[in-house]
Structures are given as C-alpha cells and as structure tokens.
Structure 1
Amino acid sequence: MKRHLILHRLDLNIDVRKYEERYREQWEAFIDHSANGTFLHKRSFLEYHGDRFEDVSVMVWEGEELLAVFPAHQVGNQIFSHKGLSFGGWIFKKDLSSFSQTQIINSILEFYKNQEIKSLRVAPVPYYYGQEKGLNSLDYDSLGFEISDNKEVYLIEAPFVLKDKGKKKGVRRAVRKGLEVMEGEVSQVFWEKLMLPMYAAKIGKAPVHSWKEIALLSERHPGRIQLISAFLGEELLAGIVIFRHPRVIKVQYSAVTEKGKISRAMDLLMHYLMNLPNIHYIDLGTVYDGQTGKKLESLAYWKESFGAKTYFSFIYEFSFH
C-alpha cells in the first residue's frame, strides 16, 4: 500500500515555472554546467520524440538564478521523469547542499500537487553520470517516495583490466586476422545490414530508435553518439553504438555478423572501449528480455566476462493527497 505523506513546508524563496520555449537557451546552458545533467536532458534530445509525450517539464528559480530543471511528461493525472529517456530526474546546479536539493524537490512536488496530479514517478540520474558525488544520497523515504521499480544494470568501473582469458584470447585472434577498429558516425549500412536483421531475429521487434532518429540526434549532438566498428578490409563485421558522456560510455546498441563472431570482432571492440581515455565507467545496460522480463543468463555472463558488476537503479513514486 502506498503512503500519502504531507509535503514539507518550504523555507526558501523558490519559484517553479513550467518550461516554455522562451527558456530554451537557459535550459540548454544550465544542463551543460549542471552537477548531474547529460545531453539526454537537453531540449535538443528531449524533443526529438516530443510528439509522443505531453511535456510538463519545470524549472526552479531563486530570484534570477536557475537552481534546477526537471524534465517530465504527463499521462492522464500522472507525471513521469521520464519514459522517453534511460533516466530523467532532478538536474541540479553545482554545489547545492543536500538541504537545498530537498527543498527544490519539495517545491516541484508542491507545483504538481496544485495541478491536481495523482502521482509522480522519477528515475533519477545514476550517481556515476554526475559531476558531483552524493547526489544519490537523497533520502527519498523521508521525502515521501516509495520504490516502485528497480533496474539491474551492468557496469564496468575503471581501472579497466581485461582479466578473462577467453576474452584476451579473442582480442589476440581478432588482431591476428587483421581486424581494424574505426570511430565515426552511425552509418545507415550498419543500421540496416547488421542492426535491424539482428533485432528481427533475436528480439522480434525494431530498436527503440529508428535510423532517422539516430541520424537526427547525432547531428544535434556532435561527438556524443558514435559508432565504434570493426572492419576486415572493407567488410563491416561488427559495431557498437555508444552514447558518450564526459565520464561514462553507454553501450546503446551492438550487432555482429556471423563472420564477425568467428573473428571475435566484439571482443576487439570492447577492448577498444576499455582503452578510451578519461572514461570512468562503461554502462552495458540490462540483461533482461524486454518482452518476457526473463533474465538472459548468456548475456549476463558475456558482460561479466569483461569485468562488469551489477548496479541497481531505482524508480521512485510519490503519491499526492
């Protein structure tokens, strides 16, 4: 049973405003210099699928200073942050105290309460994406939230050391066969010749993003969305689509041909990612079937063979009176 807690009284002079187009420039600049924002939270990313979501994002001000933004959308009388993203959450200004962060969250809850909202669900930014430590130490229980769901994510943490003998052997095999790694934009050839057939055969549905959407997002966020590919001569054998954050590489998609499997192309690509400079984490995502919810043990083993360990991210829900 969900608890219905009284919202905390606000002591700060905080003004919560619904996002409007006239605030676009301020929103975008804020994300770039925030404590925990990513390019996923920019309007240029959020709005690529704006026709699917009723945007009810808010901005939190104290006087003329922007303290936080909250990307969100509404379904009926429920608020979500955010079903169109891997995670949404409260995006804070740097160097805010935990007390100030708590007051900001309460001000956002008060704003939505006045809109006759029934509940709010939020998937906060995982701690390892943030520029500051401690942002996941917020006491959601005392704020009146309950855990409504959780997601098991596989994460490789620096220093990256490939210990698995089979994977090290695979890398050597790929090198001996003459495979080469290339970085670049996500190509339509990769998407249509490798990605779509693999999804159709193994998953039974199309990827979350279409080729046109990935191309659009790549154009809007240069250097953030890339294809790391393995070639044998002119032949494309495998590729990994990454979302590149300042401290984190997120493996978004991957696909390999049968010839690439034999040549151990994916081992080579993962080894390449583990040697990129200035990266603290490689986020390999989940290992659960999106349709059945069943854990894919072979996929879990594959990720663990590169040193990945599990991390649980939580979705919190607040029920209004």
Structure 2
Amino acid sequence: MSGAEPAAIRVERYEPGHAAAWDALVAASANGPFLFGRAYLDYHQDRFEDCSWLVWQGLRLRAVFVAGRIRNAAEPATLVAHPGLAYGGLVTAGAAKTPDVITWLDALRTAWHAAGFRQLLLKPVPRVFCRQPSEAALFWLHRQGAQLAARELNSVIDLTRPFRIGTWRRGNLRKARLHGVAVGCTTADADYAAFWELLATNLHRTHGRQPVHTLAEICRLRDRNPGHLELWVARLAEEVVGGVLVFQDARQGFVHTQYIGGSPRGKQVGAVDAVLAELLRCKVPAFQRLSFGISTVQGVVNQGLLNQKEGFGATAETTDTYTLNF
C-alpha cells in the first residue's frame, strides 16, 4: 500500500511576519551563519531592499534564500544574493538531499521570473562558514548554464590541526613581547572608537576609502548579535595600537577576521601579529576554522596581505560569484 503523496512545494517572498520561522530555520541549518539571522540582515534595510524567499512543503519550512537589491538599483531586474553581505543564497534545514535542493531551486527560479527578475547574481556561502558544506546548489547553477563572474582568494586555518607560524611572524611576536605589547578582548565603546579611527585612517591613506560599516553600525550589530562580534586590541601603555574585529559563529564553527588594522607605531612593534597569535590561541578548541578574509581585489592579489595570513599557516580557498540569466 503506497504512502501519502508528499505535500506540494510553495515559494513565497519574505515578509516581516516570517521572522520567527526564518530565524528558527537558520538556527537549525548546516550552512546559515548568524549573519543570515534577521537581527543582522535587517540592520541595513535603509540601503537594501530585502528580496529573500521561503520554500515551504506543506506547513514545513524547508529552505530560505537570502537575497536583496540595492534601493533605486540601476538594474532592478537583477536579484543579488546578497548585496549587503559577502555572500547569500540557499540555506536549508539540516543536511538536505540533492534532489530536494534542485527541486527547490527550480521552484525559486520560476518565482523569480514571475516577480520580474531576469538575472541572478549569486555569491554562495563559502565552505569555511558552513558546519556541513554542500555544493548541490553549484551543481544546479552549472546545469542551468550559470557563468563564473568572479573568483577571489580567501585564507583559512584549520583550527582542529596543528599549524605552524612562520619565521617572519615569530620575529614580530618577539618584537611585541620586548616592547610590552598587551593583547586582550574588549567591549569598551572607547576602544571601539579608537580602533575605528585607526582603521579608517589606514584605509583612507592606502585605498582612499572608509570601512564598509560605520562605528555606529558596528556597535549596533555587536549589541544586536551578542557573542558574535568581538574586538581584540593591542596596547602600548594605554594606547590602542592595533586590533582585529572578528565575526564568529560557534554553531557553524568559524571565526572570521572582519577588520584588521595597526597604527604606524603598532606596525613597528608587531602589534597586529600579536593580536592574531593570541586570537588563534584562544579560539581553539571552541571553533574549528578561522577565515582571514580575501587578499584579492577583482582577482588581483595583495601579496603583502596574503604573506601575512599564510605566515600564520593559512591555506587558500576560493570565494566565487555566479551570474544566471533567466
């Protein structure tokens, strides 16, 4: 005797009333970092229109798709996953089977087209941020004729295995000890302000730009996402001379260095390397992977930045962007 037919798949656009169901799925997922929770996603809704989607099977939420578009976008028919984050896309409840993922994405594509979208720009969640990575969505993209639009280079350390700090980095650590550099995690608003001034000065001097987040935004995100943002600083006497702001997710198993910076004096005494070494020491064994972030701009490698990361034992992983027309 055959069983009951499975419930039909239903796709709908995200609305604020879905927030509790959305957050519950992300919290149970194998590939949804805390940045996909509404407490993080909604902070920049003044700049980005949320164009996320939910996939239901009967009354059960099976997946969500994290996406949006820039308000007043020049190309409003392009769905971007995600314009305000470094990545986006499909998040599934637990380890979804490949045929299900393909079915859900087929249904989503039909819904996107019906909603007026004609292109998908997708930056899938990198493996380093997933408790249990799956590349079923990449297989679907390939079958649909998607094109690889960009590939950047991320540096990752496996914290579950021994890693070796290189000679140059060890020299900087000795220098930091000799100069009395003190490293610690801080929650003080004054330390955030000091680090942000240092960071903004460096970025403006080197690249002519400012941090993606303002100081007010980063403090608000820290308060809205407790336990997920930490600032580690290096001090000479009472002066903040270097620091690393990390995003972390113990459930997914990663720590990510979102911002790294040192003052001229800090660079002379190895302050940033001292912070990174202490960060690595403290995050084992609670976390399994550390992401140093990308060392490329539009595919061009910043060799000095890459050398610093690989000097701590990091290896290369790619982060990709795909375009799909429909």
Instruction: Calculate the TM-score normalised by the size of structure 2.
Output: 0.88
Query: Is 1:235 the equivalent of 2:235?
Result: no
Query: Is 1:245 the equivalent of 2:240?
Result: no
Which among 197, 200, 203 is matched to residue 199 of structure 1?
A: 203
Residue 55 of structure 2: aligned partner: 60
Map Cα deviations across residues 9-42 of structure 1 (whole Å, 9 max, x no partner).
Answer: xx97211111111111111122111121011111
State the superposition RMSD in angstroms. Answer: 2.0
Contact 2:195 2:242 in 1 (8 A): no
Contact 1:238 1:257 in 2 (8 A): yes
Contact 2:128 2:156 in 1 (8 A): no
Residue 174 of structure 1: aligned partner: 176
Residue 5 of structure 1: aligned partner: none
Q: Structure 1's 136 and 104: CA in aligned 2 closer, same or farther, altered over 3 A?
A: closer
Cα distance in 2 for partners of 1:193, 1:117 equals 40
Residue 151 of structure 1: aligned partner: 152
Residue 50 of structure 1: aligned partner: 45
Aligned positions of 1:284-295 closer than 5 A: 284-289=292-297, 294-295=300-301
Map Cα deviations across residues 46-67 of structure 1 (whole Å, 9 max, x no partner).
Answer: 1111111122111111111111
Letter in 2 for 1:281: R
Aligned positions of 1:1-321 closer than 5 A: 13-74=8-69, 75=73, 76-135=76-135, 138-139=138-139, 140-158=141-159, 159-185=161-187, 187-246=191-250, 247-275=253-281, 276-277=283-284, 278-289=286-297, 294-320=300-326
More deviation, 141-150/213-222? 141-150
Q: Secondary structure at the match of 1:241?
A: strand
Q: Secondary structure at the match of 2:45?
A: helix
Cα distance in 2 for partners of 1:59, 1:129 equals 21
Alpha-carbon shift at residue 220 of structure 1 (Å): 0.3
Alpha-carbon shift at residue 86 of structure 1 (Å): 1.0
Q: Structure 1's 220 and 160: CA in aligned 2 closer, same or farther, altered over 3 A?
A: farther
Contact 2:153 2:317 in 1 (8 A): yes
Q: Structure 1's 99 and 111: CA in aligned 2 closer, same or farther, altered over 3 A?
A: same
Map Cα deviations across residues 66-124 of structure 1 (whole Å, 9 max, x no partner).
Answer: 11111111341111101110110101110321111111111111111112321111111
Alpha-carbon shift at residue 137 of structure 1 (Å): 7.1
Q: Structure 1's 24 and 85: CA in aligned 2 closer, same or farther, altered over 3 A?
A: same
Alpha-carbon shift at residue 138 of structure 1 (Å): 4.1
Contact 1:155 1:283 in 2 (8 A): yes
* Overall identity of the aligned pairs, in %: 26
Alpha-carbon shift at residue 228 of structure 1 (Å): 0.7
Q: Secondary structure at the match of 1:306?
A: coil
Letter in 2 for 1:71: V
Q: Structure 1's 103 and 109: CA in aligned 2 closer, same or farther, altered over 3 A?
A: same
Q: Structure 1's 301 and 315: CA in aligned 2 closer, same or farther, altered over 3 A?
A: same
More deviation, 133-142/175-184? 133-142
Contact 1:34 1:92 in 2 (8 A): yes
Q: Secondary structure at the match of 1:104?
A: helix
Q: Secondary structure at the match of 2:169?
A: helix
Contact 2:98 2:136 in 1 (8 A): no
Unaligned ranges ≥5, structure 1: 1-10
Letter in 2 for 1:103: T
Aligned residues: 308
Alpha-carbon shift at residue 242 of structure 1 (Å): 0.6
Letter in 2 for 1:130: C
Cα distance in 2 for partners of 1:268, 1:162 equals 15
Q: Secondary structure at the match of 1:161?
A: coil
Letter in 1 for 2:232: I
Unaligned ranges ≥5, structure 2: 1-5
Q: Secondary structure at the match of 1:269?
A: helix
Q: Secondary structure at the match of 2:134?
A: coil
Residue 7 of structure 1: aligned partner: none
Alpha-carbon shift at residue 128 of structure 1 (Å): 2.2
Map Cα deviations across residues 178-223 of structure 1 (whole Å, 9 max, x no partner).
Answer: 2221112363432443112111211211110000110110110011
Letter in 1 for 2:165: K
Map Cα deviations across residues 108-161 of structure 1 (whole Å, 9 max, x no partner).
Answer: 111111123211111111122112243467413124322222222122223252
Letter in 2 for 1:304: E
